[in-house]
Structure 1
Amino acid sequence: MKPVLLETSKGLVEFRYEGQGPVILLLKGGHCSRDTDLSHQSLIHEGYKLLTVSRPGYDKTDIKTGKTPEDFADTLIEILDHLAIPSVQVIAVSAAGPSGLALAFYYPERVTSLILEAALVTPWEVRFKRKGKLLFGTAGTLVWKGLRGLLKVHPDFVMKMMLKELTTEDPEKLLKQLSNQDRKFVYEMLATSHSGKGFSTDLDHQPIDLSKLTVPVLGMYAKKDGSVHYSNAILLQSLIPHSEVYEVPADSHLIWIGEHANAVWRKRLDFLQEHTKAAAEKQTVENR
C-alpha cells in the first residue's frame, strides 16, 4: 500500500494503514524509513491492521508535527480521530520509545497496551548524543548516502561498523556468526535507513515520568545491547510494577535477528493477543 499524507493542525504526516482486524500503531526507531521492516509487517498476516506512522522529520512527516514526544502524541491522536480509531495497541521501537510513552501517558484511554522493543525510556547517553548530532545533523543525508554507496561495494565493512555501535561484543566475531538470513536483514535495514531531520530531533527527546503510566507495558531488551543500555529495562520494571520485561538473549540491539528471533516474535504476538482479548471483553461489558 502506498503511503498516505494527512494535513494535521501542525503539518503533514505520512502513514500507511493496511490489513484487517484490531489496530496496531507502529512507531519505528531512529534512522528507519518507510521501507525499513524489522519484522513488524508480518503482523498483518496474524489478523491485525497495521498503522505505521512516520515520526517527525522522517519520510514526508513535517518536523513541526512533533519536536517533542508530547507534541507528537497530540498529532497521533489527530490521525486516530481522522481514521475513526477509538483505541490502539502501540509498538515503539528504539528511539521511538519516548513517543510511545508520551502517547500512553497523555492518552491512556486511547492506548490498550504498549510494547517497547529495545526502546529508550531514559534520556540519551551524552556520548551517543554528541556523536549523533555530529554525524546525523545537517550532514545526515550525505552520511547515509555515502554509507549506502559503500554498502554496495564493501557490505561487511559497513555492517561491522554499524554493529560496533550496537553490541557490547566483538562486532567482527558477531558478523561472522550471522546466518545468511540475518545478514540479509542487516543489509536491508542499512539500505533503507536515513535520518532526514528526524534523528537529530530524537536526540533531544525526554521521556515522561514512568511511575505515572497506567497502561499494560511489555519491554523487550538485551543485556548485550550497545546502544540502548539494559538499565532502561531495569528502570522500566522498577517504576512500573504492572509492566513485564522480557530479557532477550540477543547479542546486540537487533533483537529481531538471531536464534532467539522466533521467541521475540512469539512474545510480542502473545502479548498483543492477550490484550486484544482483554479489550474485546471490556467492550462487551460496556455495551451491556
Structure 2
Amino acid sequence: MTSTTLRGVTIDYDDLGPPAGLPVLLVHGHPFDRTLWAPQARALTGAGHRVVTPDLRGYGRSGVTPGKVLLADFADDLAALLDHLGIERAVVGGVSMGGQIAMEFQLRHPRRVRALVLSDTSAAAETDEGKRFRNRLADRLLAEGMDGYAYEVVDKMLADYNVTAMPDVAARVLEMMCATDPRGAAAALRGRAERPDYREVLAAVEAPVLIAVGADDAYTPVAEAEAIHRLVPHATLAVIEKAGHLPGAEQPERFNAALLEFLAAQV
C-alpha cells in the first residue's frame, strides 16, 4: 500500500507486479475499495502484468471530498496517478461505477487508453428517476451511515444464491461497504447522478474493449452488456456464469480467465 497527494486529496493505491509489465489500472465500484480487485491482482501479476489498484477519493483509505464528486473528478485523479507512476498508457478497467469512470477516462484521456475493460456497467446517462434515487440515497447515507444500506443490497451486489453459498465473499463485500465513509459515498452518488451518456464515446473507441457481466446481475443485466457489445467496434463479450454484479469476486477463476485471454492480445 502506498499513498500520494494528487489534485488536493490523498490517494492510496497498490502498484504490483513487474514495472515493465503491461500496465493495467483497475477501478472499483461503489461502495467498495481497491481490495475488491485482489483476486485479479494476484492472477495478473502472476502473468507478468503490472497492476495498479487505487482507492477512489472518498473510498477505502483515500481522502474524502464532501459534497459532490463527478465521474470526471475520478477520471482526472486516475490520470494524475498514472502521471505520478510514470505510466503513459494503460489498460483501464472498472466494475459498475468503476466502469463508468473508465468510460469517462476514455472521454477525457483517450490517448492514454491502451484497452478498456468494462464489467457490469451501463453506458446510458442517468434517468430523472435515477437522479432522484441517488440523491435520496446520498441523504440517507449521511443521516444513517452505511450498515443498513449494505445489508439491504448485498443480495443484489452478489447473486442472491451466492450470499449463502459464498459466505466468505459476502462477508468481504459487506465489510468493504460498511467501512466506506458515508461522506465519500454520498458525494459520489451525487456526482454519478449527473453522469452523461457514454454511448457515442464507446461507438468511437478505437482501442480493444472487453465487456464482462455476471449472468445473474440484478443491477446491469446481460442485456445491457450486449447493448454495449453491439455498440463498440472492437469488443469481446464475456458472460460469467453463476455470478451477479461482482463476477470478479464471485467467480474469480472464470473472470480472470476471460481477462487474461483479453490481455494476452494486448501485449
Pick the TM interval, shorter chain: 0.7 to 0.9
Give the TM-score, by structure 2 length: 0.80
The structural deviation recorded for 1:35 is 4.2
Say if 1:35 and 1:71 are closer, same or farther in 2 by CA, change over 3 A: closer
CA–CA distance in structure 1, aligned partners of residues 76 and 137 of structure 2? 30
Query: RMSD between aligned alpha carbons?
Result: 2.9
In the other structure, the counterpart of 1:241 is 233
Q: Does the 8 Å CA contact 2:211/2:225 hold for their aligned counterparts?
A: yes
In the other structure, the counterpart of 1:40 is 40
Say if 1:125 and 1:175 are closer, same or farther in 2 by CA, change over 3 A: farther
CA–CA distance in structure 2, aligned partners of residues 75 and 84 of structure 1? 14
Residue 269 of structure 1: which of 235, 251, 260 is its match? 260
Report the AA paired with residue 84 of structure 2. H
Residue 89 of structure 1: which of 88, 91, 94 is its match? 91
In the other structure, the counterpart of 2:9 is 12
Query: How do residues 1-288 of structure 1 correspond to structure 2 at under 5 angstroms?
Result: 1=1, 3-8=2-7, 11-16=8-13, 17-20=15-18, 21-37=21-37, 39-42=39-42, 43-59=44-60, 60-63=62-65, 67-124=69-126, 129-137=131-139, 139-140=141-142, 142-145=144-147, 158=151, 161-166=152-157, 171=160, 175-176=163-164, 178=165, 182-193=166-177, 194=180, 195=182, 196=184, 197-208=187-198, 209=200, 210-257=202-249, 261-275=252-266, 277=267
Say if 1:54 and 1:81 are closer, same or farther in 2 by CA, change over 3 A: same
CA–CA distance in structure 2, aligned partners of residues 87 and 229 of structure 1? 30
Say if 1:82 and 1:261 are closer, same or farther in 2 by CA, change over 3 A: closer
Say if 1:128 and 1:164 are closer, same or farther in 2 by CA, change over 3 A: farther
Q: Which has the larger radius of gyration?
A: 1
Unmatched segments (≥5 aa) in structure 2? none
CA–CA distance in structure 2, aligned partners of residues 126 and 108 of structure 1? 28
The structural deviation recorded for 1:128 is 5.5
Q: Does the 8 Å CA contact 1:89/1:114 hold for their aligned counterparts?
A: yes
Unmatched segments (≥5 aa) in structure 1? 149-157, 278-288
Q: Percent identity?
A: 21
Say if 1:215 and 1:58 are closer, same or farther in 2 by CA, change over 3 A: same
CA–CA distance in structure 1, aligned partners of residues 229 and 223 of structure 2? 10
For the residue of structure 1 that corresponds to 2:265, the secondary structure is helix
Q: Does the 8 Å CA contact 2:71/2:191 hold for their aligned counterparts?
A: no
For the residue of structure 2 that corresponds to 1:256, the secondary structure is helix
Report the AA paired with residue 222 of structure 1. G
Report the AA paired with residue 101 of structure 1. M
Q: Does the 8 Å CA contact 2:95/2:246 hold for their aligned counterparts?
A: no
In the other structure, the counterpart of 1:285 is none
Report the AA paired with residue 237 of structure 1. H
CA–CA distance in structure 2, aligned partners of residues 56 and 86 of structure 1? 22
For the residue of structure 1 that corresponds to 2:16, the secondary structure is strand
Say if 1:226 and 1:147 are closer, same or farther in 2 by CA, change over 3 A: closer
Say if 1:72 and 1:103 are closer, same or farther in 2 by CA, change over 3 A: same
Report the AA paired with residue 194 of structure 2. D
For the residue of structure 2 that corresponds to 1:214, the secondary structure is coil
The structural deviation recorded for 1:5 is 2.2
